[in-house]
Amino acid sequence: MKVAVLIKQTPDTAELPKVSPEEVRSGDVKATMVINPWDEYAAEEAIQLGDRFGASSVAISLGKEGETDALKHALAMGVNSALLVDVEAAREGDVWAVATALAAAVQHEGDVDVVLTGKMSVDGNSGAVYTGVACKLGWNLLVNVTKIVDIADGVVTAERSFEGGQETVTMPLPVVISVAKEINDPRYPSFMGIRKASRAKIPVLTAQELGLESIPRAVRWENLRKPEARHTEVQIIEGETVEEQAAKLVDALLAEKVI
């Protein structure tokens, strides 16, 4: 069995407020780049599927040559191999274009049974790429998976959560799965993994190799702006007794028309 884990390289969330719209427009973001935190859960699950079912794993990321920090992080965690997809039309395109390039890379890799990915990216926030990948591949899609119970006889059994409930589903392979954070506790890269990853030469798949010199796009960015920073105030409610504190809190909430 082979598992492909789709990984995005995103700015460190602590540094996101520093990123300017100009940097995003030019694609030259001056922040520490890390593996998208949601994709860490997918990478961890790929490693665990290796331990449980002997699956081999490959991490796939879309990016310019040299943008390999996130892939190396996945390798250092224990994912078996990595692949960088350098397709300019996808990088500069919309969600559909990204999905097109990633699906093509999965097909190029061959023999993939399961595609894993995080539920969204911390920068783009679309949460739609995996839907596009499943659509392009023509595979089944499972979203918000909290547990992969079993993979046997070409069928995956998984638990997924949805608003107000949890369900156990079965689905024939191949399948695209987006994972929720409840699925596991991602490990830190090991020192042995770091040694291996820092020396790894990550192969690059080009647009020519995938036949994706141009990808039609449906969405264009007309404008890009940063939301205004929200100003919040913290009030500490003090009082001699809990009752007094509670009464003051209720008064304050009433005054603010919260209740």
Partner 1 sequence: MTSPMGFLFNEEHEMVRKMVREFAAKEIAPKIKELDRKQQHDPAIIAKMAEQGLLGICIPVRYGGQGMDYISLGIVSEELEYVDTSARVVMSVHVGLNSLGVLQWGTEEQKQRFLVPQARGEKIACFCLTEPDAGTDVQAMRSTARREGDHYILNGEKVWISLADVADHFLVFAKTDPQAEPPYRGISAFMMTRDMPGVTTGSYHGKLGVRAGNTGWVKMDDVPVPVENRIGEEGEGFKIALSCLDNGRYTVAAGALGLIRASLDASVRYAQQRKTFGVPIAQHQLVKRMISLMVQRRDAGELLVYKAGWMKNQGLRNSRETTLAKWFCTDASFDSAADAVQIHGAYGYSDEYDVERFLRNSKGAVIYEGTRELQQLLQADYEFGYRRYRPLRCELPAYDPEEWTREA
Residues 69-98 touching partner 1, rule: CB under 8 A, are 72-73, 76
Binding status of residue 197 toward partner 1 by CB under 8 A:
yes
Give strand pairing partners of 12. none
Q: Min. distance of Cβ 40 from partner 1 in angstroms? A: 10
Q: Which of 113, 91, 111, 116 is nearest to 101 (CA)?
A: 91
How far are the Cα atoms of 54, 121, 140, 174 from residue 153, in angstroms, in the given order? 14, 32, 16, 12
Q: Which amino acid is at 250?
A: V
Q: Specify the stretch interacting with partner 1 by CB under 8 A; choose among 109-117, 132-140, 149-157, 196-204.
A: 196-204
Decide if 36 contacts 9 (C-beta within 8 A): yes
Q: Min. distance of Cβ 117 from partner 1 in angstroms? A: 21
From candidates 194, 204, 209, 245, binder to partner 1 by CB under 8 A: 194
Size of the site for partner 1 (CB under 8 A): 14
Q: How far is the C-alpha of 114 from the C-alpha of 60, rounded, in Å?
A: 13
From candidates 13, 166, 170, 198, binder to partner 1 by CB under 8 A: 198
How buried is residue 127: exposed, middle or buried, by Cβ count under 10 Å (0-12/13-18/19+)? middle
Q: Which of 44, 36, 42 is nearest to 9 (CA)?
A: 36
Q: Min. distance of Cβ 61 from partner 1 in angstroms? A: 16
From candidates 65, 188, 214, 252, binder to partner 1 by CB under 8 A: 188
Binding status of residue 174 toward partner 1 by CB under 8 A:
no
Binding status of residue 191 toward partner 1 by CB under 8 A:
yes
Binding status of residue 190 toward partner 1 by CB under 8 A:
yes
> Alpha carbon 242 to chain centroid distance?
44
Residues lying near partner 1 in the complex (CB under 8 A) are found at 34, 72-73, 76, 188-192, 194-195, 197-199
